[in-house]
Chains A and B, each alone.
Chain A
């Protein structure tokens, strides 16, 4: 197991290098001159040239990328073209907010969707199932930012209960973004749970469990749900990855001071040093989350654990 984890961690490195190289090259293609962006319209051609020389902008891209990765390993991802802030520090100052939002909304999703999905599968075609399915269809079809706007209109403008932006009001600030991020995920996770449970519910070993004299409650929880966990965990993992990668639009709707809204701001301001750094860090964090999901699999299914041990 330890060997497998080590191997997987080592495998992350080339993937991250590949992705970061692609991102670096792609960002290099963005129209516009970073020197011009940094120095403004009044700068002369000479000043621009000096800036380029100072920042190594005239080197071939591979060399610049190598410098970049070298810096990254020391926690140096360059500085914002706009306010000269350190990108590494910026990322880690935004990360807690994004993590807080992600964790809160994943918890909300898990505690609502898993019971609902199980219930829908067990009571297949009854009103609970139909209701859950209708709600999921609506939830999946509502754009996050629209839900955000509606919630703001209702809870901030009309009722005045909750703040509409920022993170300054403690837990109250968290509620609306959390629900906004959670809606689509709740719908998706309910559907995943339901279909995973339906797959398991027709398995022979549930009949064995019933024949032993277990009551239906234990059959569902102890035998069925335990076997349905893999697709559920996969879905939760994907949702975590997307949330940590920046709930870009939701964070922006609520001016939530996380990675997503800062990233969008930087794109709109053409602050590409920040964009590159943030995207690469996102790739790293997401690969760690996916690794974690893989490790969790092993604890949920002994067959997967055995497979890891073999590889």
Chain B
């Protein structure tokens, strides 16, 4: 009932109140707030990395004199086999993971949401064909699909993002369609039709706002998955290549020094873990705050 009312009074004021209520709920969730703070800090780090470190000298510049120094007071994270400060490399790497995660998800949303919305809203044959295609993609594991795409497109940062985005499209299309279907046959849609609202109007004013929560939550959680996949691809040599300090690539380089310098593979992995965990905490907090079913 609440939902019907909310979407009927579709004024900006109501929406603002809802956002405020969600934020209040979100704020109470300790884990989610920690996640949000760390995510914000990581974004800040990614944006300001160029002011903290100079890419040419600090990040990729070699310093043979200081090779393979274990973590200590001079180099907090130690140095690698070329004497590069791992703190600078790992810190600078934040921007790659965050950008890959964000861009691939945004692109996936950009294509997947319209596909899912149209399939759910129009139904019929079009829906069947779209769903069959999505089903077909589900029999190729997502990571394998991404790897194939990269193989075809060639390895580069941009192609990696495109490949991840393409593997993400079916997921967003499916979830959008499902949530469109839950609101599609509600009476307020019928009544909007009865007063002569166009399909475009109904979709943008009624359907999309009501499907917003599950898509937002899924998008957040998917970002974490894509960051891990990207690192994995770089690790096996199909993603971002060295000397770019992408975390997966750093791990890939570290594996030959597993005996002499195990710390090399510790920090990049930890960075991935913290990043993904913070984003997941935010996504989970959003889910709880947006889902009135769990509010008890």
Interface residues, chain A, CB within 8 Å of chain B?
Answer: 15-16, 18-19, 22-23, 26-27, 29-31, 137-138, 140-146, 149-150, 152-153, 157, 241-242, 245-246, 248-249, 252, 263-264, 267-268, 275, 279, 282-283, 286-287, 290
Contact = CB atoms under 8 A, between A and B. Distances in A.
Nearest to A191: B284
B265 A142 contact: no
A290 B248 CA distance: 31
Contacts of B272: 141-143, 146
Nearest to A264: B236
B141 A146 contact: no
B59 to A, nearest CB: 21
B29 to A, nearest CB: 12
B8 interface: no
Contact of A19 (B139, B238, B251): B139
B224 A15 contact: no
Contacts of A267: 147, 151, 238
Interface residues of B, number: 46
A71 B23 CA distance: 59
Contact of A140 (B137, B268, B275, B276): B276
Contact of B135 (A15, A27, A143): A15
Contacts of A286: 139-141
A143 B273 contact: yes
A67 to B, nearest CB: 21
B262 interface: yes
B144 A279 contact: yes
A149 B140 CA distance: 27
A249 B235 contact: yes
A23 B148 contact: yes
* Residue with the greatest number of chain B CB neighbours at <10 A, chosen from A23, A149, A246, A282: A149
Contacts of B259: 157
B202 interface: no
Given A31-B154, A138-B273, A149 B258 contact: yes
A157 B277 contact: no
Contacts of B143: 242, 248-249
* Residue with the greatest number of chain A CB neighbours at <10 A, chosen from B132, B136, B284: B136
Given A249-B232, A282-B141, A141 B273 contact: yes
A137 B281 contact: yes
A138 B270 CA distance: 10
A219 to B, nearest CB: 20
A245 B265 contact: no
Given A140-B280, A146-B272, A279-B148, A245 B236 contact: no
B228 interface: yes
Given A141-B224, A287-B139, 13 more contacts: A19-B139, A27-B152, A137-B31, A138-B273, A140-B277, A141-B273, A143-B273, A153-B258, A157-B262, A275-B148, A279-B140, A282-B141, A283-B139
Contacts of A287: 139
A252 B148 contact: no
B19 to A, nearest CB: 25
A143 B269 contact: yes
A153 B256 CA distance: 12
26 contacts: A16-B139, A18-B133, A27-B148, A140-B224, A141-B228, A141-B275, A143-B235, A143-B273, A146-B251, A146-B268, A146-B273, A149-B254, A152-B258, A153-B265, A157-B262, A248-B143, A248-B147, A248-B236, A263-B144, A264-B147, A264-B238, A267-B151, A279-B140, A282-B141, A286-B139, A290-B138
Contacts of A264: 147, 236, 238
Nearest to B144: A245
A299 B260 CA distance: 54
Given A138-B273, A153-B265, A290 B139 contact: yes
Contacts of A268: 236-238
B231 to A, nearest CB: 5
A149 B136 contact: no
A261 to B, nearest CB: 9
B141 A137 contact: no
B139 A15 contact: yes
Q: Which 4 A-B pairs have the closest CB atoms?
A: A146-B269, A245-B141, A141-B277, A141-B276
Contacts of B132: 15
B255 interface: yes
B152 A19 contact: no
* Residue with the greatest number of chain B CB neighbours at <10 A, chosen from A18, A263, A275: A18
Given A149-B251, A152-B258, A275 B151 contact: yes
A14 B232 CA distance: 32
A152 B251 CA distance: 13
B141 A246 contact: yes
Contacts of A141: 224, 228, 272-277, 280
A142 B269 contact: yes
